[in-house]
Structure 1
Amino acid sequence: MNAGAMRAEQPDSELYDWGEIEQSLDARGHAVLPRVLRPEQCARLAALYARDDGFRSRIVMARHNFGRGEYKYFAYPLPPLLQRLRQALYPYLAPIANRWNREMGIDAQYPQELSAFLDQCHRAGQTRPTPLILEYGPGDYNCLHQDLYGEHVFPLQVAILLSRPGDDFEGGEFVMTESAPGGQHAEVVPLMQGDAVVFTVNQRPATNRRGGRRKVAMRHGVSVVRSGKRHTVGLIFHDSR
């Protein structure tokens, strides 16, 4: 990856310990990347939500039983900052995704570059961009869910918190749940403004008590916002139908 593509707009992703990130994804299904965006970048992205241009659709979550709140899908071309970030993170995540698929017996391997993967999506009729921005107000929340949009699904995605916990909003924690034959549990992932969380879209491999491999189903959501406004950007790497 050309690290210089990111350096002017956000921290160099080569500064992150990707071995440690991979270990966290293997063990817990998620990993935090601190300070991916600066405060002024977060504010600039959050301000886009009030605009009508640059988006392909707006979803009111209560109408679809998704929770409360709303979100907008960006149209192509994406904002340059998000386009660079999506392209820069994907090559680090593709080898993890490929290994996971091998371990789970899934016959799908992802190319090293995002453009090649999106070409696969588009040939399958998945041509609509999936990066989005979410807005929550008091009483809003996001039900536990998985973001599956078609035949081609990249097993990892990224959410970046644009707002300041404790200042811009209260509550609204990012939550992940894990379901496996041995039981279920939930985990709150603490995030500060500008932090990103990389997390499992659907399933990840895990080791059972006998040392064999099994699939663990993961879901994510957001707890109830008690006050203020919470904005988040979601970077999904597969496009949708």
Structure 2
Amino acid sequence: MTRTAPAPAGPAARVAAADWPGVAAELDAHGCALTPPLLDPDACRAVAALYDEAELFRKTVDMARHRFGSGQYRYFGHDLPRPVAELRAALYPRLLPIARDWAARLGRPAPWPDDLGEWLDSCDRAGQARSSQILLRYESGDWNALHRDLFGELVFPLQVVIGLDVQGEDYTGGEFLLVEQRPRAQSRGTVTVLPQGHGLVFTTRDRPVRSARGWSAAPVRHGVSTVRSGLRRSLGLVFHNAA
């Protein structure tokens, strides 16, 4: 009897299969957390190839020109390619309980509804009506300065970056950097190699850390170390719109 191999899981199924309690625990411990592969290698190559389809994007940013580092990235328009739209829609409800838990610890409001579309409508009404989904491209010598992706008053506290190439084969260097300012302490740095297809969940602005007075908000910035050789591409998923 011939058995048919199961079809590869799509992005939504891969998101659903991840260990989200484990992701939440990693975020609490380290400020970032890797997921299992959310895109297979073929899907990674297909998403990376979208960079050359200029009509998909609303804006291209030359990082050196703006002193953001070196390299280039493009913001998608609202008509997102299917895998990008599927990933964002599938990730939002998984990240929402973590976001609400963090807000409760810090005594902050949690304005994020269950439905991503409702939240994005709120962004639109607040004047944040532009897509913030990003495709990033780094060549040898490129890097990304430490920053935070804050585009207006409305902010979702978590975002995801997905590696589209293989470190050590397609490029060297280019590690993901996270720098956290601990309350009344020196900054703490975390370096992560971003495996192809895996997502890295990290905070957009700050995160709760224990202090002598209970919970404090630790500001966090992120960036990318210098790419030593090759080509490094990644997909950035942000869950609030840009002004």
Match of 1:173 in 2: 175
Match of 1:225 in 2: 227
Whether the 8 Å contact between 2:12 and 2:86 is mirrored in structure 1 is: no
Match of 2:148 in 1: 146
Gaps (5+ residues) in structure 1?
1-5
Match of 1:193 in 2: 196
Match of 1:184 in 2: 187
Alignment of 1:83-94 (within 5 A): 83-94=85-96
Match of 2:61 in 1: 59
Whether the 8 Å contact between 2:11 and 2:38 is mirrored in structure 1 is: no
Match of 1:203 in 2: 206
Alpha-carbon separation, structure 2, partners of 1:135 and 1:12: 24
Alignment of 1:111-150 (within 5 A): 111-150=113-152
Whether the 8 Å contact between 2:44 and 2:165 is mirrored in structure 1 is: yes
Whether the 8 Å contact between 1:32 and 1:195 is mirrored in structure 2 is: yes
How far is 1:191 from its partner? 1.9
Alpha-carbon separation, structure 2, partners of 1:42 and 1:56: 21
CA-atom RMSD, angstroms? Answer: 1.4
Paired residue total: 235
TM-score by length of 2: 0.93
How far is 1:112 from its partner? 1.3
Alignment of 1:74-89 (within 5 A): 74-89=76-91
Alpha-carbon separation, structure 1, partners of 2:10 and 2:207: 34
Match of 2:101 in 1: 99
Gaps (5+ residues) in structure 2?
1-7
1:31 equivalenced with 2:33 (yes/no): yes
How far is 1:189 from its partner? 1.2
How far is 1:86 from its partner? 0.2
Alpha-carbon separation, structure 1, partners of 2:240 and 2:206: 16
SS in 2 for 1:53: helix
Provide Cα deviations, 1:42-91, integer angstroms capped at 9, x if missing partner.
Answer: 00011111221100000000111100001000011101111011000000
Alpha-carbon separation, structure 1, partners of 2:179 and 2:64: 21
SS in 2 for 1:178: strand
Whether the 8 Å contact between 1:32 and 1:196 is mirrored in structure 2 is: yes
How far is 1:220 from its partner? 0.6
Alpha-carbon separation, structure 2, partners of 1:161 and 1:18: 19
Provide Cα deviations, 1:114-173, integer angstroms capped at 9, x if missing partner.
Answer: 111101101111110000100000110000110000011000000000011111111000
Whether the 8 Å contact between 1:101 and 1:109 is mirrored in structure 2 is: no
Match of 1:17 in 2: 19
How far is 1:105 from its partner? 2.1
Match of 2:4 in 1: none
Alpha-carbon separation, structure 1, partners of 2:169 and 2:74: 24
Whether the 8 Å contact between 1:30 and 1:197 is mirrored in structure 2 is: yes
